[in-house]
A and B are shown apart, each in its own frame.
Chain A
Amino acid sequence: MNKKLTILDIADLVATKSGVTKKEAELFVKEFFSLASEIISSGESLTIKGVGTFLPVWVDARTSVDVNTKQPIEIPGHYKLSFTPDKTMKDAVNAPFAAFTTEVVEVEIPEMVEIKDDDNEYSEEQTDESETLVVEDEVLSDINIEIAQPEIVETEVVEESKVSDSVSEDIDEEITKVSVAESQIETPSVLPVTYVQNEEEIQKEYRRRTRNGYLFGFLTALILFVIFISLWFFIFKGEKGISLSFSSFKLSTVGEQIEGENLSNNVVDIQENNIDSLFVDPIETDELIAEIENTSSENKYPLIDTIQRGKFLTTIAEKHYGDKAFWVYIYRENSGRIWNPRDLKAGFKVVVPAASKYGIDATNPESVSKAKELEKQILYEIE
């Protein structure tokens, strides 16, 4: 082990194995290698069976730096010798580790979210959700004063919730009419939990990044609003009404997303997974989604899209607007939350604004060039 052998040791071993005299063996080994080095030195490749292939390869000229003088120097192109061991040789040398093979390491997927166990805190979760929604709009509108029309965004959100409320009423009535078993009512109520969890994640990220106190006053107003809503629910529906309406709110947003995004495969996959894993009757949910689609067809934008592996702002822009140059507007819309558009984590949710808001038109070359100029400006700002 780890000894250094010379040509003489090899000759000795050859002599004992073959039965020829040591002198003969030595001569043979010497001749063998001197012939080999002559052939290699002449620039020819040489294959020795059981050992490997010696091949001169050309190395292109490259610039380097002189270690002593720190002056850039050019290393001229030259040949160097490459050696590739024979398969039998390779295996013989690697015998101790032959049992190992290359294995795939499992990568943690950041999108996976644990499902909360407690289903009772609906009023609390509702607060969280509406908080994040309005906070989002507030931040966005603050930043985009020159371009954005914050009131429109807010009213749209209100409309959305109204629609969902009415939908929830419809569904509620339907279900009470049919008098579905309690278990069936409870199963969809698990759905919003994951959604809320995602919203909470976004909210956490906000707080971590912004940490500004000016949101605080806004939150108190929100809580009042939520108390009002929950009171309203209690009066008209009782506890079951709340859980149901909440679930249908989630479903309505799901319906919007599906319609708005032209059935993007990824989103549908994720949703299907969610639904499957939660043991919801697929036929029933399909019916609900279809119903909600009919009622909420008007509120197409702004919608929320999720960043995934291999899916960036540019790909989202191309999907929604038809040209990837328009990613700048999505960036603008979310500029309070995105620090570096090149470095977005998978699972990060972005608000996709309506195309009319920024005059986005993929067929109009002026609009595209405007977006490209804005892109230059934004990239300059980042760097």
Chain B
Amino acid sequence: MEYKEFLTQLQKRIKKDKQATERLSSIMVKVLREECANMNTVSVKGFGSFEPKKKLEREIFNPATGSKMLVPPKIVLTFKPSTSVKNQIKELKPNE
């Protein structure tokens, strides 16, 4: 689902106008981003948790060119769904 559709659905739920919903959403996303950038874990009950993780530098080997490359260390944001979401997704039937 695209973000726009998500916002209209959210708007119906909280019973506010479109502008206020968009403003609040963008602020919330900004807060989330700032906290993750500060290496803080954000866990939302019933949804999951966002956790920034450090990855060490590593060497990779390109078999086509035979060259070795050094991948720098980095921080990536991981998302771990809560058990309820995870189980519900697990029980989905393969429809295609």
Contacts and interface: CB of A to CB of B under 8 A. Distances in A.
Given A28-B28, A97-B74, A309-B66, 7 more contacts: A14-B31, A33-B47, A35-B6, A50-B29, A52-B79, A81-B85, A97-B72
Given A10-B31, A105-B69, A100 B74 contact: yes
Contacts of A101: 72
Interface of B: 1-3, 6, 9-10, 13-14, 23-48, 52, 59, 66-79, 81-82, 84-86, 88-92, 94
A2 B76 contact: no
A14 B28 contact: yes
Contacts of A51: 29, 32-33
Nearest to B25: A32
Interface of A: 1-7, 10, 13-14, 17-18, 20, 25, 27-29, 31-37, 39-41, 43-52, 54, 56, 58, 77-81, 83, 85, 88-90, 92-97, 100-105, 107, 309-310
Contacts of A2: 39-41
Nearest to A56: B89
Contact of B86 (A44, A49, A81): A81
A34 B41 contact: no
Contacts of B67: 104-105, 107
Instruction: Specify the main secondary structure of chain A where it touches its partner.
Output: mixed
Contact of B85 (A29, A37, A310): A37
A18 B27 contact: yes
A104 B72 CA distance: 11
A81 B47 CA distance: 12
Contacts of B46: 33-34, 37
B44 to A, nearest CB: 5
